[in-house]
Structure 1
């Protein structure tokens, strides 16, 4: 082995050790997101994370978990396995405000025909928010896609939505953050591990 090849091999090995050792939790605004979670007996890795801000207020921390790293929205939407969006609130928000934000995000990233097909799932999703008076600082919301079951939602570990077996709706929810008109461009780049 030539000297430069040996140095290259050593550097590659050192980087692998360094990065695998640093594959720990991410902390944003005092919120810790685990590097990996288990959904439906499948290990998911944190693809990216960021803070959703509105005007000058930090609203929530969000993390996207996938079976393997993806850097494009199309690749995230195409994932066949389990997926998770993890949200931790940084301030108090009424469930009505939160539901309106979700509805607006979905409407901005779907056309009229798609919205018509998503309407039954959207109605159930909005009814879920109606069952929760408000989201308080520190509340944790998990939106999971579970293959063969559907979309489930948990608030602080308690299921608040019966499974919605509508993959198109889950993908519409994902597009709130990673679609063509995301709620925040910088947040989209962070969730897709571009930044």
Structure 2
């Protein structure tokens, strides 16, 4: 009976191997969070450009991954690149939604010219309202900011679209400069999102 049973496992093992092979491979695992190598936004395939951790002093706040149509080594290339894009963030600690909205607004203002920020104000107000309505993001929750050509910027919280797309074309670039601008939220995270090798700072362990 055992000999008859062993050959019967062959097709099952082959099926399991095939299923595993079709699962998206994690190109990066950051503080336990998987960032797949590829995904699709608005029907366009994107590649993981880089991923890392946002630290507040030595405390981990969130992980972030940047997806682009093709690899970019500089902020200028990433911002100027046409097509769909996504920044995905997973929280590693709780944060008040109102506080997060204020931080994003300040980050956009610090990294934009007066004219650039003025054009992004309607979208900034819309984004702030979304996070105020959410009230707080808990550790383990996540959100994405997607640029969808012809539609605008869509914010998703835990995979669900929140509100209508932000139509101003300047808004997505202004928001990306929070992490990729001249005064980024975290210099090390900026390098990580651009795919540059970085050395862990004292107390900053993945």
Cα shift readout 1:47-94 (whole Å, capped 9, x = no counterpart): 000100102210000000001100111111111100000000001001
User: For each residue in 1:104-144, what CA deviation from the matched residue of structure 2 results, as whole angstroms up to 9, or x when unmatched?
Assistant: 11011012232222211111111111110100111110100
Q: State the secondary structure of the residue aligned to 2:62.
A: strand
SS at match of 2:182: coil
* Cross-structure match for 2:113: 111
2:86 paired residue number? 84
Which of 163, 174, 177 is residue 175 of structure 1 equivalent to?
A: 177
The CA deviation at 1:26 is 1.0
Are positions 1:66 and 2:68 aligned together?
yes
TM-score, length of structure 1 as denominator length: 0.85
- The equivalences for 1:40-59 within 5 A come to 40-59=42-61
Aligned to 1:98: 100
Counterpart of 1:135 (choices 134, 137, 141) is 137
Matches of 1:31 and 1:142, distance apart in 2: 14
Task: Give me the whole-angstrom Cα distance separating, in 1, the residues matched to 2:121 and 2:155.
Answer: 18
2:14 corresponds in structure 1 to none
The structure with more radius of gyration: 2
| Native 8 Å contact 1:125 1:161 kept in 2 | no
Separation in 1, partners of 2:50, 2:58: 22
State the number of aligned residues: 173
Q: Normalising by structure 2, what TM-score?
A: 0.81
In 2, distance between residues paired with 1:173 and 1:101?
Answer: 11
Of 43-52 and 107-116, the range deviating more from structure 2: 107-116
Query: Gapped runs of 5+ residues in structure 1?
Result: 1-22
SS in 2 for 1:65: strand
- Give me the whole-angstrom Cα distance separating, in 2, the residues matched to 1:97 and 1:56: 19
Q: 1:146 aligns with which of 112, 126, 148?
A: 148
What RMSD, in angstroms, separates the aligned Cα atoms of the two structures? 1.1
Q: Do the aligned residues in 1 keep the contact of 2:117 with 2:174 (CA within 8 Å)? A: no
- 1:157 is matched with 159
Determine the C-alpha separation between the residues in 2 that align with 1:90 and 1:161: 24
**Regions of 4+ moved over 3 Å:** none
Residue 7 of structure 1 corresponds to which residue in structure 2?
none
In structure 2, runs of 5+ residues without a counterpart are 1-24, 198-206
